[in-house]
Structure formats: structure tokens, C-alpha cells
Chains A and B, each alone.
Chain A
């Protein structure tokens, strides 16, 4: 079945530094990947839609200069949290949609970011 690998699973960084999170589709190609943020005991909130070869589409209220998204290939999208602050600490999850279509959105296992 479709597998999405997300790395790292956990990261701790200092305030002011940047962190890159990778999302890879292992056995399928994805023109579209989605990035979500989830706070404890809350639902997933879509941050942006990552489109291969073009600019990401950000949801209202999400700072595109702070959350940089790059979708350089059909199997890899990256989310970089720039100049991280403690309020950026959260669980970030990606999902990928196969090029071949269908309705299945496969999610990565998430990245727990802690900014100290």
C-alpha cells in the first residue's frame, strides 16, 4: 500500500534557528502533498498545499515566509520552520495524494517539534 515517510519524528531546536521536515512518498508519486499542524488534543489544521514544481498554497493565517514549503520532486516535499519560536512547538503531519488518483490520502507519522 501507499507509504509516506516523515522525518524527523522528533526534533528539539533553539529559538531563532530553522528546522526542516521531510515528507516522502515511498512507493508512489505525488503531485500534491499537504502539511498539517496539530496541537495537543486538537484536530488537524491544514497549513498549506504543496504542489510539485510550483508554489505552495497557504491557508489563511499561515505565514508563508515562516513556513517555507518546497516540493522539488514527485516524491519529496519539505517544510522549513524558519526562525522558530516556542509558539511554533507543535505536531506537524504531512499527507500525500497519488498521481494516479483515487481518494486515499496517506499520512506520514508526524514530527514533534519542540522549540526551547
Chain B
């Protein structure tokens, strides 16, 4: 099935540094979601974006829904060791509703060196 193009695949950074990752698609999505997955666990929702151009923050995390509705980025500021994990973007083609599937990016593995 379709997947979103997520980059980078992995990042190795020092504690305190800022991080940026993004997702692009050849088709339009009406909702963009960012998840974090720890080893052996299910994904946890970090930020949800509903409108093109929307910029939303959740603590040290900031995400934006691209104007074209074909891309989104996630920034993490002042990284800390517990930020380690895999970050996934996900897109939903239809707004709301219970039968609309998510399409996932391939993930960004983040490693933070103390």
C-alpha cells in the first residue's frame, strides 16, 4: 500500500540539540498526525494537524501541516534522552469519520546522546 516519504531515516544528536523531520506525499491528506513509538510498544499520538498551514505545539514539539496538504514537519527543541524512539508521520485522506484509514511514513529513528 501507499506510504509517506519520511526523512531522515535516522538521526544521532547530542542532548540539547534541536531536531527536525518531515514527511511528503504525492497526494493530498486532510489530516496529518505525528506518533512516537518506543521499543515493544504501540505508537503514541504526539500532535494532530487538521488544517493546511496549521502550526501546532505540544511542549517542546512543534508540527506544521503544509499549505499544499502534501507535507508536514515535526520539530523537537532542546532534545533530552527520553526523546529516543521512532517517530512516525501518518496521513488521513478524509477528515474525521470512523472508517478512514491512516497511511504511515517509514519512521525516523532518533538517538539522543547524553
Residues of A within 8 A of B (CB): 4, 6, 30-32, 34, 41-46, 49, 51, 59-60, 91, 93, 95, 97-99, 101-110, 112
Q: How far is the CB of A76 from chain B (nearest CB, A)?
A: 16
- 29 CB contacts below 8 A, A to B, read A31-B98, A32-B98, A32-B99, A34-B101, A41-B109, A43-B88, A43-B105, A43-B107, A44-B43, A44-B88, A44-B104, A45-B1, A45-B104, A46-B101, A46-B102, A49-B99, A49-B101, A93-B42, A93-B43, A101-B98, A103-B33, A103-B92, A105-B102, A107-B35, A107-B43, A107-B44, A109-B41, A109-B42, A110-B41
Assess whether A43 is in contact with B3, with CB atoms less than 8 Å apart.
yes
Residues in A neighbouring B33, C-beta threshold 8 A: 103, 105
Contact with A along B72-114 (1 / 0, CB 8 A): 0000000000000000100010011111011011110100000
- Which of the four size classes fits the interface of chain B? 20 to 34
Known: A42-B106, A60-B1. A101 touches B42 (CB 8 A): no
Q: How far is the CB of A16 from chain B (nearest CB, A)?
A: 26
In-complex Cβ contact of A103 among B3, B96, B101 (8 A): B96
Assess whether A103 is in contact with B31, with CB atoms less than 8 Å apart.
yes
Verify if B28 is at the interface (C-beta below 8 Å from A).
no
Assess whether A106 is in contact with B106, with CB atoms less than 8 Å apart.
no
Contact with A along B19-31 (1 / 0, CB 8 A): 0000000000001
